[in-house]
């Protein structure tokens, strides 16, 4: 079969055999600004298999009242990789994403069954500190939602809530987070300006910086670039590629080209079921399920 999805070939990449699950992140991905061509391709299935399982969902069912939105979802999220969730609108991508930091708890009448482990610990066990969980598993939404405060205060907000008061420490967190989100160079001279004055693309990077300021392990992104122009989208995609050396990323996107560009692993959802999950390259070129093939070749969606 053929698709119009172009993804980088990762078969030539080889991994240092000395690396094992306890070693630090894979080598830094370099992004060449001039061409946007990444020097390091996506991780292969073998490379991902060697990474620790950061998040493991096992047999997850989810209900909004009597409506079952997720059916027996089992998915492993390897550390320092980007996992993309794709599928048509309403298939449960956002619902599943929100299960990973218990954001659905805020929606009345919902119920989750099954297990979701973060570093081997069940996040739904009794006594879980949900605020702490959401610091470890940060979230960025489709529509950027900066607070109506200064750029500085947007980033410092989380650390302040966590009890940090020292200005020098906050300054450092603000700078580091903005640098990680590739926004520092554009805003360092106007940190006291309102965040609402930033462009849409800058606001979204600000929201990413805000999520990074609480020092998470995992970053959940729900269609983070869908409201952005192509240039801002490319900036966010480059950023995602960079961030995976430090964080573990799960991104929802309805844009298959985007999934192919940024992710190592792709999970295809359909009507609340996980139809297929695999290395992105393999899923887009050799899907094992007819439904997946129909979707990625545009027969429905």
Ligand X SMILES: Nc1ncnc2c1ncn2[C@@H]1O[C@H](COP(=O)(O)OP(=O)(O)O)[C@@H](O)[C@H]1O
For ligand X, the binding residues (CB under 6 A) are 64, 67, 69, 87, 89-95, 107
Contact status, residue 206 vs residue 146, Cβ threshold 8 Å: yes
| Least spacing, CB of residue 25 vs ligand X, in Å | 29
Q: Which is nearer to ligand X, 24 or 109 (CB)?
A: 109
Least distance from ligand X to the Cβ atom of residue 93, Å: 4
Question: Considering CB distances under 5 to 8 angstroms, the limit depending on partner class, which of ligand X, Mg ion, none binds residue 89?
Answer: ligand X
Contact by Cβ (8 Å): 220, 196: no
What minimum distance in Å lies between the beta carbon of 277 and ligand X? 15
121-122 and 137-140 strand pairing: unpaired
Nearer to Mg ion, 104 or 281 (CB): 104
In the complex, the smallest distance separating the C-beta of residue 94 from Mg ion, rounded to whole angstroms, is 3
Q: Which is nearer to ligand X, 63 or 184 (CB)?
A: 63
Which does residue 95 bind out of Mg ion, ligand X, none, counting CB within 5 to 8 angstroms by kind? ligand X
Tokens of 284: 């887009």
Instruction: Output the CA angle 139-232-209, nearest 5 degrees.
Output: 35
Report strand pairing: 82-86 vs 110-118: unpaired
Minimum separation from the CB atom of position 272 to Mg ion (A): 13
Cβ neighbors of 52 (< 8 A, separation 6 or more) are 21, 78, 79
Query: What span, in angstroms and rounded, lies between the C-alpha atoms of 107 and 63?
Result: 11
Q: Which residues in this chain contact Mg ion in the complex, by CB under 5 A?
A: 94
Write out the two tokens for 197. 């004055």
Q: Which residue is nearest to Mg ion (CB)?
A: 94
- Is the Cβ of residue 182 or residue 251 nearer to Mg ion in the bound state? 251
Per partner kind, with CB cut-offs from 5 to 8 A, the member of Mg ion, ligand X, none near residue 90 is: ligand X
* Closer by beta carbon to Mg ion, 143 or else 286: 143
Instruction: Give the residue with the Cβ less far from Mg ion, 94 or 144.
Output: 94
Task: Return the one option of ligand X, Mg ion, none that residue 107 interacts with (CB less than 5 to 8 A, by type).
Answer: ligand X
Residue 233 contact, options Mg ion, ligand X, none, Cβ 5-8 Å cut-off depending on partner type: none
């Amino acid at each position: 079969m053929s698709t119009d999805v172009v993804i980088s070939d990762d078969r030539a990449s080889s991994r240092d055999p000395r690396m094992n699950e306890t070693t630090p992140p894979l080598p830094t991905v370099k992004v060449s600004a001039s061409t946007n061509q990444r020097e390091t391709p996506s991780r292969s299935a073998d490379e991902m298999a060697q990474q620790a399982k950061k998040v493991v969902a096992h047999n997850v069912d989810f209900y909004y009242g009597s409506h079952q939105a997720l059916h027996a979802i089992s998915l492993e999220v390897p550390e320092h990789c980007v996992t993309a969730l794709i599928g048509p609108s309403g298939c449960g991508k956002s619902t599943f994403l929100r299960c990973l930091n218990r954001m659905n708890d805020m929606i009345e009448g919902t119920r989750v069954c099954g297990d979701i482990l973060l570093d081997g610990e069940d996040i739904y066990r009794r006594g879980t500190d949900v605020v702490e969980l959401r610091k470890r598993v940060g979230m960025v939404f489709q529509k950027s939602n900066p607070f109506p405060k200064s750029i500085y205060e947007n980033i410092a907000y989380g650390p302040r809530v966590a009890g940090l008061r020292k200005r020098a420490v906050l300054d450092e967190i603000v700078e580091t987070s903005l640098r990680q989100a590739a926004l520092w160079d554009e805003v360092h001279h106007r940190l006291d300006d309102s965040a609402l004055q930033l462009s849409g693309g800058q606001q979204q990077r600000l929201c990413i910086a805000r999520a990074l300021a609480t020092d998470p392990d995992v970053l959940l992104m729900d269609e983070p670039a869908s409201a952005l122009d192509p240039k801002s989208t490319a900036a966010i995609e480059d950023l995602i590629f960079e961030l995976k050396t430090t964080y573990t990323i799960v991104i929802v996107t309805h844009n298959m080209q985007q999934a192919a560009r940024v992710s190592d692993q792709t999970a295809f959802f359909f009507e609340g079921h996980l139809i297929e999950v695999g290395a992105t390259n393999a899923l887009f070129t050799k899907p094992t399920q007819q439904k997946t093939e129909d979707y990625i070749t545009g027969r429905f969606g």
